[in-house]
Structure 1
Amino acid sequence: MRQMLRSALCLALFGLSPLTARAEFTVPGFELVYTAPAGAGLEAPDLRSPSEVWSGMVDAARSDIAIGAFYVNSRSGTALDRVIGRLEAAGRRGVKIRFLMEEKGRFAADEATIARLRAIPNLEFRFLDFGKLGGGIVHAKYLIVDKQVAYVGSQNFDWRSLEHIHETGLKITEPFIVSRLSAIFGLDWQAQAAIASGRTVAPLNTTVKHANLSGEAFLVASPNAFNPPGVGDSETALPALIGQARSEVRIQLLDYVPLAFGDGKRRAYYAVIDNAIRAALARGVKVKLMVSDWNAVKPDIDYLKSLAVLPGMEVRIVTVPPVREGCIPFARVIHSKTMTIDGKLAWIGTSNWSGGYMDTSRNLEVVVRNASLAGRVAALHEAAWSSLMARPVRAGEEYAVPDKACLKTPPAR
């Protein structure tokens, strides 16, 4: 009950009344879509779920559907199971479906889900080894229908992402952004065919293609070398936007560290974003960075502590409580990748903020200059930030590393 009251207060603080909430939250060209972890007390009645939005998009498809994903994992009776049922119906009525999954995502994928998707009439399923293209992975999560409506968000094509993980995304009808998403998918689809036949794919860009940061709404993506015309480079856009901040930046991520992704001691230093955050603090901008407890591993937590001691900087780490059924592997976590600046600009994307995402991997980020949308994203941030699940990061404290894979034996009752 206390958490529900906190959520209602956050809505009120940002000018949103839970008593007058609609079934959806839209601004011109965009609908904000949200997954609240079941039982965490972070429900948002004015925001539709991705399963509802994806199902509606698939049901409305008349000619083609394109889906890009890191991996796939469904379970019978879940929301994603029902979405796949809608895909099966679309395929049976003649809709052409193309599904592109990262080759390295097989480690997290469910083979039965892959087989089910491949059995859908008119669906072609391909694996892309993006390492042979940009050096990283396909980490983007997106859906395009009839080249007229699209979805970009943090939700993986995973039943847990639709029910047990904090996720944020956008349904997009803005024509130019949808066209650029279609162009990206087309490029990657063709690249897969070339790589599969042993051919090398040449970069499209040998110089940085900067985004028009003054635009009201635009798409940025990575890696820069394989972005089509009209799509700016996310790696340069993110620090540039932070550089425009004048009062407050709110950030929510799975994890944050100025190192390349990977394990062990071979993680290269990656200061692109970290330098921008520290420069904003030096200008007097207040920064609120919220990450999941997966970020408690070393040396990541030490970098967070080094930020937390700076004037104007607050860092909080969130632990989502388990459900009554017990531990769900790789779930019960905040996974949204969002930023708001000065209550006027919203950034909603698919990248984690460390090396290997915005420089070598396929990721997508949507930027919208709209105070209403920015305020609603900030309210989602505040709901988790001010909840009992959030704990401040301080230099002198220790933080437990969660059992995200459910490897530990629970204590006897």
Structure 2
Amino acid sequence: MRSIPTPLRRLAGMAAALGLALSLCTPARAQFAIPGFELVHTVPRETTLATPDLRDAATVWKEMFDAAHTEIDFGQFYVAGQDGEALDDIIAHLEAAGRRGVKIRFLREKKGGFASDAATVDKLRRIPNLDYRELDYSSMTGNGIIHAKYFVVDGSSAYVGSQNFDWRSFSHIHETGLKITDAAIAAQVRQIFEIDWQAQALIAAGRPPVPTNRATVMADERRGNYLVASPNAFNPPGVGDSQGELVCLLGQARQEVRVQLLDYAPLSYGPNRTRPYYAVIDDAIRAAAARGVKIKLMVSNWNTEEPAIHYLQSLAVLPNVEIRIVTLPPASTGFIPFARVIHTKSMSIDGRVAWIGTSNWAGGYLDNSRNLEVVLHDENMARRVAELHEQTWSSPYAEPIDVLRRYPKPVKGKQ
């Protein structure tokens, strides 16, 4: 039997090693993007949902931290980690940025302490070049929070979406966001951060921050793709009011509106746990349905608690309105508090406009709290957001609301 020449044996060995290495690699996720914007999505583990054309948030966040040269600025509701989960690695990449000299500013809502993990906060505080602050946003608006989930890298790229700085958000919650490389919008996100960062310093010094707007500022829709935010009183120049823009877009709808949310309710949050009526969004939805627009509203099973469920049931009896409630299966490892839920906040209108943001559709969010929303007049993005909606809408996890049922109180936290 003829022996194989040594060079060929080496090539064969190299090929075998390469094949083994490739077999061990995780396939790279594709990217769905339009100029300036990449759609990012987290699929909850142990579900049949799949988005192979969308990169996950953990991958995108780490990539953005690794690319930082000078600064990273965060606005977050709360922080919560757990050993061995994806957030550990994300924080490691953030720490690496700090160690190479990147200046990091981290602003968290003070009321978010109820959901935050002290060990994770301590871990953040120990990162070199990181300045950590907390702000009680209600001291600015009377009744609001930093509910936004965003960060800006070098003032030139940003991330905005439903993703909290929470280990569960990267594995057990349905989340959607945008990586933004549109320079003008990224700069506006940074301006929003700067307003809130400086407000925290003023409040800490006993001085009230001065509102930047007295009158409502409407978005300039001629720009096509743009940022809107809330509260209007503390938005920078050129950034329109989220609440006004949402009503305007719903008023322009002609055929179909697809919405996915954690919560929907025409109710706000008042003193002593009261829920004052808040009709702004609900009136716009009902008006659209009345003129023949098909409304497909999808909410999480957390939205079945009282009194919100009764308003959903009353909305569902209207012609042209369909409402489905999504219940994700529990993890095989057992119950996880505040997880296994859809948390995406998105909308697609007539296959031509996409809305991706950080706000629930209820009172207190788009009027008094800090939230960011991105509006994209782009058919490709609007179609992909609608397809993302349809996947869950048609899944076994979604069921039409029963207008006569008395729903049990949903279990969110500890059982």
Same fold by TM-score, threshold 0.5 exceeded?
A: yes
What is residue 315 of structure 1 aligned with on the other side?
323
Mapped pair 1:365 → 2:366: no
Deviations 1:162-187 (A, max 9, x none): 11000100000111111100100011
Q: CA RMSD in A?
A: 1.2
Task: Give the Cα–Cα distance (whole angstroms) in 1 for the partners of residues 311 and 342 of structure 2.
Answer: 19
The residue type paired with residue 46 of structure 1 is D
Determine if contact 1:221/1:362 at 8 Å carries over to the other structure.
yes
Percentage of matched positions with identical amino acids: 60
Q: Does 1:101 align with 2:108?
A: yes
Q: 1:237 and 2:235 equivalent? A: no
**Would you say the 8 A contact 1:36–1:44 is kept in 2?**
yes
Secondary structure of the structure 2 residue equivalent to 1:169: strand
Alignment-mate amino acid for residue 125 of structure 2 = R
Q: 1 CA distance for matches of 2:171 and 2:271?
A: 28
1:37 and 2:44 matched: yes
Partner of 1:330: 338
Counterparts of 1:3-42 in structure 2, within 5 Å, are 23-42=30-49
Distance 1:79 1:139, change over 3 A: same
Q: Which runs of 4+ in 1 moved over 2 A?
A: 261-265, 397-402
- Comparing 391-400 and 128-137, the one that deviates more: 391-400
In structure 2, the partner of 1:17 is none
Tell me what 2:72 maps to: 65
1:399 aligns with 2:415: no
1:288 aligned onto 2:296: yes
Aligned partners of 1:134 and 1:226 also within 8 Å: no
User: Which residues in structure 2 correspond to 1:140-151 (within 5 Å)?
Assistant: 140-151=148-159
Name stretches of at least 5 consecutive residues in structure 1 with no aligned partner: 1-20, 408-413
1-structure distance, mates of 2:174, 2:157: 23
SS at match of 1:34: strand
In structure 1, distance between residues paired with 2:176 and 2:29: 17
C-alpha separation in 2, matches of 1:41 and 1:66: 35
**Contact 2:306/2:409 (8 A) holds in 1:** no
Alignment match of 1:75 (pick from 82, 88, 101): 82
Specify whether residues 264 and 288 from structure 1 end up closer, same or farther in structure 2 by C-alpha distance, changes over 3 A only: farther
Q: How does 1:370-381 map to 2 (within 5 A)?
A: 370-381=378-389
Question: What whole-Å deviation, never above 9, does each CA across 1:11-68 have from its counterpart, x for those lacking one?
Answer: xxxxxxxxxx961110111000001110111121111111100000000001000011
Spell out the pairing of 1:127-138 with structure 2 (5 A cutoff): 127-135=134-142, 136-138=144-146
Distance 1:100 1:273, change over 3 A: same
Note if 1:90 corresponds to 2:97: yes
CA drift of 1:305 comes to 0.6
The residue aligned with 1:118 is 125
What runs of 5+ residues in structure 2 fail to find an aligned partner? 1-27
The Cα of 1:289 is off from its aligned counterpart by: 0.2
Please list, as runs of the form range in 1=range in 2, the aligned pairs for 1:182-261 lying within 5 A after superposition: 182-261=190-269
Quote the offset at 1:262 in angstroms: 6.5
| Partner of residue 387, structure 1 | 395
Cα distance, 1:406 vs structure 2: 3.2
In structure 2, the CA distance between the partners of 1:64 and 1:190, relative to structure 1 (3 Å rule), is: same
Report the alpha carbon displacement of residue 402 of structure 1 after superposing the two structures with TM.
Answer: 2.3
Equivalent residues of 2:29, 2:55 under 8 A apart: no
**Residues 72-116 of structure 1: per-residue CA shift (max 9 Å, x gap):** 001122111101000111111000000000000001000000000
Aligned residue identity for 2:311: Y
User: AA paired with 2:119?
Assistant: A
Please tell me whether residue 168 in structure 1 is matched to residue 181 in structure 2. no
Q: Deviations over 1:302-361 (max 9, x none)?
A: 100111100000000000000110000000000000000001100000010000001100
1:58 is aligned with what amino acid?
Answer: F
The alpha-carbon deviation at position 265 of structure 1 amounts to 6.0
Give, in whole Å, the separation in 2 of the partners of 1:341 and 1:278: 15
What CA distance in whole angstroms lies between the structure 1 residues aligned with 2:271 and 2:305? 11
State the SS of the aligned residue for 1:325. coil
TM-score of the two chains, using structure 1 as the length reference: 0.92
In the alignment, the residues of structure 1 paired with residue 66 and residue 33 of structure 2 have an alpha-carbon distance, to the nearest angstrom, of 20
Residue 271 of structure 1 pairs with residue 279 of structure 2? yes
| Number of aligned residues | 387
Query: SS of the residue aligned with 1:243?
Result: helix
